[in-house]
Amino acid sequence: MKIIMCTRDLDYGAGSYVKMLLKELDKNDEIKKIYVIAPKKLDGFSNKVEFFTVKLFGNFIIKIPLFSFKVRCIIKNIIASEKIDLIHTHHSMFFRNSKIPIIFTVHSLHDLAYRNNPFSNLSMTFVKMFHIIYEFLDYFQMKNSNKILFASKKTMEYSEGKYKKYSQKFIFYPNFVDTTLFYPFNLKIKDLLREKYGLNKNKKYLLFVGRLEPLKGVSNLANIIKELKMKNQNIELLIVGDGPLKDQISRNDFVKYLGKIPHHIMSEIYNVSDFFVLPSFYENSPMTILEAMSCGLPVISTEVGDAKSIIRNNDMLIKKPDSFSIKNKLEFLFGLSDTRIKDIGKINRKRIINCYSSKKNTNKILKVYRDVS
């Protein structure tokens, strides 16, 4: 089987998903060739994986249409010289071909992105306007795809109402994680890693990973930690990511800012942390939750996207993304005994292995490949 894989991200979120999928498909004898259209090339793959780079720049307002139209041109060049069995795209593209089956994996919807944004300043109004415009691309891709895979069950349920005409194509396949890359390290290695990253062995580190923007709730989180520090000086906030709020967040004396960390060493960051928090106003199926749980971390999250179905522990869920609710949950978390924290970490690790491992879920996607091709 020869396939084309399209993605405008190979770093975080959807990009992490695509990298793991490529890794598993590369090992599968059924797949003979993979043409990957992406913003950069990756090392570590066999000769059957060939990259075609799409240079992207600017924010999503520019990147989204640029990707859609550039991918269309590259696909046309590939199919002119090669027989392709199917195309699997992870973002909307401006391409259709009645002879080649297309699979579309939905990692997020423009409609949900602006509907769940609680901010109403001028810049956010501008952003929402473009999300509304780009809804057309989601609609176009659903219309012209043979199967539509959803990484988030909650997003699929919403889409069954909004895109009812195409709901017979919908299939839910959750995000997944490489459990051989993201796993709990032993205490000796954790201590060495804390030295590597300049972390205090006696501090408790609460980890946030994501884009530093209002929708992720990181400003709210920083204000809460600042207040909690007055009661407990042992708490520090560990931040991984980049974005418009970087300067505002990183200048706090209780923040250890690590910047952008390559995905392949993110397991080190999870393992030097004591807890993971996701205070977002909107998510689909957060990869960071899966990775943190796979590394044996206790995870608390607002009830966004599929967080509730992934975590399966009401004690670790924040009902509303407001300061009062998040503060109460953090106080509960910091008050847990060491034994309880270890037990939660073990339960999290076991759940990821049983339900969200990359190998199990890739086999399910391969079945869809066979069905459509």
Interstrand relation of 2-6 and 33-38 (parallel, antiparallel or unpaired): parallel
Percentage of the chain lying above the pLDDT 70 cut: 98
Q: Which amino acid is at 369?
A: Y
Are 149 and 365 contacting, i.e. CB atoms less than 8 angstroms apart? yes
Both structure tokens of 199: 């972390």
Q: State the pTM of this model.
A: 0.90
- pLDDT surpasses 70 at 117: no
Average pLDDT value for residue range 90-108: 91
Band of residue 61 on the pLDDT scale cut at 50, 70, 90:
confident
Cα–Cα distance measured from residue 184 to residue 179, given in angstroms and rounded to the nearest whole number: 10
Interstrand relation of 33-38 and 299-302 (parallel, antiparallel or unpaired): unpaired
**What does the mean pLDDT of the chain come to?**
92
Tens of pLDDT along 137-146?
899 999 999 9
Q: Where in the chain is the domain with CATH 3.40.50.2000?
A: 2-176+358-372, 187-355
Count Cβ neighbours within 10 Å for each residue of 349-359 and write b for 16 or more, e otherwise. bebbeeebbbe
Both structure tokens of 176: 């997944």
Cα–Cα distance measured from residue 123 to residue 114, given in angstroms and rounded to the nearest whole number: 12
- pLDDT surpasses 90 at 236: yes
pLDDT value for 134: 86
Tens of pLDDT along 85-96?
999 999 998 888
Give the three-state DSSP class for 270. helix
Are 146 and 169 contacting, i.e. CB atoms less than 8 angstroms apart? yes
pLDDT value for 343: 96
pLDDT value for 116: 66
Tens of pLDDT along 148-188?
999 999 999 999 999 999 999 999 999 999 999 999 999 99
E strand residue ranges, 138-291: 147-150, 170-172, 204-209, 235-240, 255-257, 275-278
Q: Which amino acid is at 150?
A: F
The contacts of residue 332 (CB under 8 Å, 6+ apart) are: 315
Say how many Å lie between the first and final Cα of the chain, rounded. 9
Tell me which CATH code domain 187-355 carries: 3.40.50.2000
Chain centroid offset of residue 358 CA: 14
Both structure tokens of 15: 């990009």
pLDDT value for 345: 96
Are 103 and 1 contacting, i.e. CB atoms less than 8 angstroms apart? no
Tens of pLDDT along 303-319?
999 999 999 999 999 99
Handedness of CA 64, 49, 367, 288 (dihedral sign): negative
Q: Regarding the domain with residue range 2-176+358-372, which homologous superfamily does it belong to in the CATH classification? A: Glycogen Phosphorylase B; (3.40.50.2000)
Tens of pLDDT along 281-305?
988 899 999 999 999 999 999 999 9
Average pLDDT value for residue range 130-135: 84
Using N-to-C axis directions, what is the helix angle for 323-334 and 218-228, rounded to 10°? 50
Cα–Cα distance measured from residue 26 to residue 34, given in angstroms and rounded to the nearest whole number: 8
